[in-house]
Structure 1
Amino acid sequence: MRSSTSSSRSTPTRKSSGRPRPTNNPNTPFTSLFIILSRPRIVVSMCLGFEACRYNGEMVDADWLKELLFKSDVVAVCPEVLAGRRVPRKPINLYKKDNRVHVIQDETGLDVTVALEVSSDEFLSTLGDVDAFILKSRSPSCGLGTTKIRWGDSFYLASGVFAQKAMEAYGEAVFFDEAGLVGEGVDVFLKRV
């Protein structure tokens, strides 16, 4: 027989992104202190101030990075490098063919879709708790609704391969690109996290 008190006890709650949230459990007196002291865990595109890993061998200046590193725990990633692409490398683009998006290196015709999808899945499956993502806009791997998907003679805007997979895996996390972060600032961003 189950005790009626077992169902009335509350337990600490966690958002699927992993940040601890307030609890009314009397057995956890330090939960509020833990929440105040916890730092958000944020995944950032590596080319945004960490390393010159863009297709052209360059890095994007990110004046906000120092402040972000001071106020959060950051994991940097370049999905294209994880997929085995070198720096510098021939640019890739997204094409809609056969009812699916393909990642093609235009100059050679090489299809790197599977490599990018598999490496993205592997990275995300081992990542653990994450509160937010700051990704490179217009990137075929990291763009958030700003990446061109070519379809015949036209195109439409959607998310890059890694960004799409991250949004599926971490639906409750906050997603920004560097342009949005520059516009709003680190403090406003962290309040959303």
Structure 2
Amino acid sequence: MAGNDASRRLHGWAELHELAARHAGFFTARQVMRAGCEARVRAGLEDGSIARAAMGMLRIAGSPVGPLDEYAMWAAWFDDEVAVSHQSAADLHGLGRLRPRFLHLSVPAGRPPVTPRVVVLRRALTGAEVESAGPFLVTTPVRTVLDLAEGDIAQVALDEVVADAVAIGRCAAGEIRAAGVGLAPRAAARVHRALAAV
């Protein structure tokens, strides 16, 4: 996954502000420390120009509020080394009707947040497996289908995800078939059944 090196030292308020702008105004207490902006952020908390968003998370006050803010916040938490994946990615792509109760994130490393809402899956993804969704990354429709085939969603739900992906042109059946070649036998069979139903 492309992203910032978490060990890189930020150089002041301007860079911290730029980082926050990439994530819908969100930034972390760790990033404040790396930027050396503790005093400025404390002052911002006092004057209302910065708000607390969650444990260890801050936000530039007045940042436009949007429906994908939660995803942007976790992208900031993991220093861009994260992608929305699995059921959450399917939901973002408009594939199926999974209505996930949790936010599924794939990350190669990093301290997971303390919240029951987020499911962190430890894995590294290549650049070809993710795409930009503005302030965060999401697995591609093909990678999302493969992830769901490897998981435990019902076959009928996987069939619907695959049918939607092909019907709305998010990917072609041949792309899914080719990508599924390297899957374990059970997942490959699930993909084959889903494609047969298209």
Could you say which structure has the greater relative contact order, defined with CA pairs below 8 angstroms and 6 or more residues apart? 1
More helix by share: 2
More strand by share: 1
* Higher Rg of the two aligned structures: 1
TM beyond 0.5: no
Q: TM-score, normalised by structure 2?
A: 0.23
Q: TM-score, normalised by structure 1?
A: 0.24
